[in-house]
A and B are shown apart, each in its own frame.
Chain A
Amino acid sequence: SQTIHQWPATLVQPVGSPLSLECTVEGTSNPNLYWYRQAAGRGLQLLFYSVGIGQISSEVPQNLSASRPQDRQFILSSKKLLLSDSGFYLCACMMDRTYEQYFGPGTRLTVT
């Protein structure tokens, strides 16, 4: 079965600093990959999804970007963090034509 790794688990960054969150997937190949953000007490907001290497779809215009340099690697980045970027970032994967999405442990980002 799939295993999703995310790091770091927690991160505190100042406003204006860059960001790089990494997600890797084990136990599957050619998955669809997703980045979500969850603000405190709120639902999950879909940020990006990818159906393959180098293929990224953005759901919400913002100062974040995503890349998929390898089949099982998904990276979330920012050049300059905003206070509003604080939240719980979750990476997820889903196999083609299935309806079960697997989530990683998440990264809690606090922008100060």
Chain B
Amino acid sequence: LAKTTQPISMDSYEGQEVNITCSHNNIATNDYITWYQQFPSQGPRFIIQGYKTKVTNEVASLFIPADRKSSTLSLPRVSLSDTAVYYCLVGDWMDSSYKLIFGSGTRLLVRP
């Protein structure tokens, strides 16, 4: 499975756009990129997933360049409630099993 590298922490202010970049240099052809959000004492929550180019949903956008060796999670106009740990993962289905390997994530702190 490809390994991912993310910044350990980021700070932002309410109303700003936050971009968290994840590097996955060894991503395989069939790997998808998935982002999760985790609040303290809760399980992670799926945010967004993509394979290439750009994906957008109601909470975030995911930008993936052509070489797919990195991806950027974009959170528009963050609020205090977006303070959480964000995980970037890559992986694919092999033989009906799919293992999500979580790294240390990026701890985002949103200040008033």
* Per-residue contact bits, chain B 89-112, to A (CB 8 Å; 1 contact, 0 not): 000010011111111110000000
* Per-residue contact bits, chain B 12-55, to A (CB 8 Å; 1 contact, 0 not): 00000000000000000000101010000111111001000000
B63 close to A (CB within 8 Å):
no
Complex partner residue of A46 from B32, B42, B93, B100, CB under 8 angstroms: B100
Q: How far is the CB of A43 from chain B (nearest CB, A)?
A: 4
Most buried by B among A57, A92, A99, A100: A99
| Interface residue total, chain B, C-beta cutoff 8 A | 22
| Beyond A43-B104, A51-B97, 5 extra complex contacts between A and B, CB < 8 Å | A46-B100, A49-B97, A49-B99, A105-B42, A108-B41
Chain B residue numbers with a CB within 8 Å of A43 are 87, 102-105
In whole angstroms, what is the CA distance A42 to B102 when docked? 10
* Per-residue contact bits, chain A 21-49, to B (CB 8 Å; 1 contact, 0 not): 00000000000101010000011111001
Interface residues on A, range: 20 to 34
- Residues on A lying within 8 angstroms of B by beta carbon are 32, 34, 36, 42-46, 49, 51, 57, 59, 88, 90, 92, 94, 96-97, 99-106, 108
Q: How far is the CB of A2 from chain B (nearest CB, A)?
A: 11
Q: How far is the CB of A44 from chain B (nearest CB, A)?
A: 4
Q: Quick one: closest A residue to B36, CB to CB?
A: A101
